Amino acid sequence: MTTPEVLHRYLAALDAGSVDAVLACFAPGGEVASPLYGTLPAERFYPGLFADSSASSTELRRVYVDPRDDREVALAFHYAWVLGDGTPAPFDVVDLVTLTDERDLIARLTICYDTAPLRRSWQRVASGGDGPG
């Protein structure tokens, strides 16, 4: 099976930092579960993420498709995230994606990565101050 086109569009939209382009990849009511931001509707998650960011880029490493249900896909990639204050916060991540029945939009995305190396920097930027938020 080839990687669904929506997932390529999603990664390109992350690279571009475009809230509109990212949200166009999600089904109505789509949600994101993040270890830093919690579980939110996609339309709330991405504006917050991009507000806390100055840049980012992705490097896709692997795509895994559940052989029993091709709506379930895992994207393994490197996310070269730069926080809003310019602090680099790169990490390797696996996004667990549930696609719609038509496989053309994302219904749910669960982000899995180790937040320990960047949590303190993120809290400082997300709180808008110099100390942990």
- Which domain range does residue 41 map to? 5-125
pTM confidence score: 0.87
How many distinct structural domains can be found in the chain?
Answer: 1
Backbone angles phi, psi at 28, to 5 degrees: -55, 135
The tens digit of pLDDT for each residue in 86-133 reads 888 899 999 999 999 999 999 999 999 988 877 788 887 776 654 333
Q: Which CATH number does the domain housing residue 13 bear? A: 3.10.450.50
Task: Kindly state the tokens that stand for 97.
Answer: 């994606």
Q: Is residue 41 part of a domain?
A: yes
Classify 46 as helix, strand or coil. helix
